[in-house]
Structure 1
Amino acid sequence: MRFLFSNNNKTVDSTKSSRSSKGIFCEVYAVSETGPVRDHNEDSIAFSFPENDNHNLIAVVADGMGGHNAGEVASKMACDLLLDYCLKKWKQQSPGKLLHKAYTEAHETIVAAGNSNSEQKGMGTTATSVIIHKNVCYIGHIGDSRVYLLRNGSLMQLSKDHTLVNQMYESGEITEQERDKHPMKNVLLQALGTTPTIQPQILADGWEILEGDRLFLCSDGVYDALSDEDIEELLLMKRPEFALECLSATATARKVSDNFSALLITFSTGVQSTPKMTKEQNIL
């Protein structure tokens, strides 16, 4: 596992344990930056290898919102709560049930935390996550962060944006071009912590992961700066860590107005050392 975080002082953390495993395994590469405009980062990213086995993976990208820096509190809570629940119940529930229950409990906890602190009242966060188990991928999602799949050189968006503008597009009120440039494109219909109830997108049936697949989870700061064609070109790069360096350089050069964060997950066969169980980051 190679783990890349980027901010003004870029660092690389590469940690491995002595245990090895065979078959299709996951490697995770990550970047989270404040960006050239914002003064702090409200994104959080996290991942964990259940049972200390890199055949298994839980990964989350969250993009927070709220006054008094409450967005960064909400996004970190989402990452912590989703990972903690899934790890605790890993052997007791199916991945689909894990995700559904984890999102429900995370939402209730974030709402309660906001209600108990006037400076954090109304805070919320997107949360886009994947579970990899027995070579099958499952998705949990709420908000407008995204998960993409690159397979056989083609990029597909697997998550559905929970935004007012995307709803307008799906109902035929606006075109795809109008959707992508609409001034209200970031108005959310759903997020953890902001509504009485939630209906997260849970892809509970899952689909088989193939060698060579790449999953890409990102906050909206990424696709605000890069088109789907740009993202596809990045994910086609042979070296994932270089792809994320290029993402960071491009988003900065284009003066993206938001924080930007991404997790790039690759799948290979062979013998790999298993990394430490959990990594997470919120860069201020």
Structure 2
Amino acid sequence: MPYLFGNAQHVGRREYQQDAFGFSNPFDEAFTAHAGLLAVVADGMGGLEHGEAASRAAVQGFLDAYRLKTPEESIAQALDRGVHGAQQAVLAVQRQLLLEMQCGTTLVATVWFQNQLQWVAVGDSALYLCRQGQWTRLNDLHTYGRHLDSRAAFGEITREQAQADPQREALTSYLGINELTEIDRSIRPITVVEGDWVLLSSDGLYKSLSLLEVPEALQGSIQERCDKLLSAVLSRNLHEQDNVTVVALAYDPGRVPVTVAPKVEAAAPPAPSGIADTQLASPLTVAPVPLAQAAAAPPLTLTRKRSRVPLAALLLVLVLAGGYFVFRTTCCTPPPVVAAPPKPVIVNPNPPDHSPPEPPKPNQLRPPK
């Protein structure tokens, strides 16, 4: 399984745990081949009734809707269906409990598919990308503070007034609201590189701890990083510590699953009387899934048997080799070397008998009269 994941959660100093989270099935190779690995975090709103019921319903509703994705459907379309499925699940809780006040929850969900990342978010739960120790928040937080900061940027109010407004942390969008109009989503997939990992968290993390304070401490496996982040939050011992939930994803292309054929064995003897047969079920829950359980399974190994060459095949090889040798020595013998003919003797075209006469000697010349 090339996908890595981890999680950590604590109730903080609250009476109830109103955070919930879940994953799609990372061991379903057929589904992850086109849908990747999905992670969801929801933070029930403590100011409204039954925030814990709303967060659990939202996570389960999102997972159920995303599970309907087909290979022909894009991940962005499946994420959009997931957030609306979560919204309908929260509204169903309201109708079931006959609540006079609304119940609501935030939600952030992301899908890691090979080397691409896509997400959708409603509310103030956060999604971070960690690259070489540097943190980047990917989603916008749907709080009134964003509108205050915009007004301050246009000079309508001062920055001090924007920071001091008592309604700064109020949510402007959440699941369970009558009309869900403010949804943050990735415009296009983000390409991740080797060593990247992402973190989903409820506001109990970033309101208690600045991620800039702990980049060097986050070493080890994905699960160990989640545990260290939670320990760093709790070590502050804040009096008003909220629920804390962190979920992390990463991808290791080198961890390719190995599939082996099942071993055929004789039928097992009947079970003794009094012992009932059990059936393994894998219901999708939103309870924490420790990574250590998945890593505890022994790795799959492939054993190869030494194959024996039949004797007839060996004899056939020897016969073919002998025939080839005879063919090469009889039919393909190079021609004999022929000696080169002797070089012709070059005869002097002017033999001594036909040489021109010697010129007269100088003393035989007479000057003219």
TM range (shorter): 0.7 to 0.9
Deviation at 1:216, TM superposition (A): 0.5
1:213-224 map, 5 Å: 213-224=196-207
1:26 corresponds in structure 2 to 3
Matched, 1:40 2:16: yes
Work out which of the residue numbers 60, 83, 103 in structure 1 matches 2:63.
83
Matched, 1:186 2:162: no
Work out which of the residue numbers 201, 206, 211 in structure 2 matches 1:228.
211
1:157-168 map, 5 Å: 157-168=137-148
Q: TM-score normalized by structure 1?
A: 0.79
- Change in Cα spacing, 1:90 to 1:278, as seen in structure 2 (3 Å) is farther
2:234 corresponds in structure 1 to 252
CA contact 1:214–1:265 (8 Å) conserved in 2 = yes
Matched, 1:261 2:245: yes
Work out which of the residue numbers 88, 94, 97 in structure 2 matches 1:117.
97
Deviation at 1:207, TM superposition (A): 1.6
- In structure 2, the residue corresponding to 1:190 is in which secondary structure? coil
Matched, 1:197 2:180: yes
Q: What is the aligned length?
A: 256
**Counterparts of 2:3 and 2:141, CA distance in 1:** 26
RMSD: 2.9
- In structure 2, the residue corresponding to 1:243 is in which secondary structure? helix
Matched, 1:130 2:118: no
Deviation at 1:129, TM superposition (A): 0.5
Q: Higher strand share goes to which structure?
A: 1
**Counterparts of 1:178 and 1:237, CA distance in 2:** 37
**Counterparts of 2:187 and 2:100, CA distance in 1:** 32
- Change in Cα spacing, 1:246 to 1:44, as seen in structure 2 (3 Å) is same
**Counterparts of 1:268 and 1:159, CA distance in 2:** 24
Partner amino acid for 1:39?
A: E
Partner amino acid for 1:126?
A: T
Larger relative contact order (C-alpha < 8 A, sep ≥ 6)?
Answer: 1
- In structure 2, the residue corresponding to 1:211 is in which secondary structure? coil
- Change in Cα spacing, 1:159 to 1:34, as seen in structure 2 (3 Å) is same
Deviation at 1:198, TM superposition (A): 2.7
CA contact 2:61–2:86 (8 Å) conserved in 1 = yes
Deviation at 1:27, TM superposition (A): 0.6
**Counterparts of 2:251 and 2:6, CA distance in 1:** 12
**Counterparts of 1:176 and 1:77, CA distance in 2:** 39
1:281 corresponds in structure 2 to 287
**Counterparts of 1:149 and 1:128, CA distance in 2:** 14
**Counterparts of 1:82 and 1:176, CA distance in 2:** 39
Deviation at 1:68, TM superposition (A): 8.0
CA contact 1:218–1:260 (8 Å) conserved in 2 = yes
Partner amino acid for 2:183?
A: P
Deviation at 1:148, TM superposition (A): 0.4
Deviation at 1:88, TM superposition (A): 1.4
Deviation at 1:226, TM superposition (A): 0.7
CA contact 2:118–2:189 (8 Å) conserved in 1 = yes
1:94 corresponds in structure 2 to 74
CA contact 1:104–1:198 (8 Å) conserved in 2 = no
**Counterparts of 2:160 and 2:70, CA distance in 1:** 39
2:120 corresponds in structure 1 to 140
CA contact 1:122–1:193 (8 Å) conserved in 2 = yes
Instruction: Using the aligned pairs only, state the percent identity.
Output: 25
Partner amino acid for 2:24?
A: S
Deviation at 1:246, TM superposition (A): 2.5
- In structure 2, the residue corresponding to 1:126 is in which secondary structure? strand
- Which deviates more from structure 2 when the two are superposed, residues 41-50 or residues 195-204? 195-204
CA contact 1:62–1:75 (8 Å) conserved in 2 = yes
- In structure 2, the residue corresponding to 1:127 is in which secondary structure? strand
**Counterparts of 1:88 and 1:203, CA distance in 2:** 20
- Change in Cα spacing, 1:185 to 1:238, as seen in structure 2 (3 Å) is farther
- Change in Cα spacing, 1:233 to 1:178, as seen in structure 2 (3 Å) is farther
- In structure 1, the residue corresponding to 2:186 is in which secondary structure? strand
**Counterparts of 1:120 and 1:80, CA distance in 2:** 24
Matched, 1:208 2:191: yes
- Change in Cα spacing, 1:136 to 1:68, as seen in structure 2 (3 Å) is closer
**Structure 1 unmatched ranges of 5 or more:** 1-20
CA contact 2:4–2:222 (8 Å) conserved in 1 = no
Deviation at 1:65, TM superposition (A): 1.6
Deviation at 1:209, TM superposition (A): 2.3
**Structure 2 unmatched ranges of 5 or more:** 259-281, 289-369
Instruction: String of CA shifts for 1:86-126, please: whole Å, max 9, x gaps.
Output: 11124342111111122123213312431342347400110
- In structure 2, the residue corresponding to 1:83 is in which secondary structure? helix
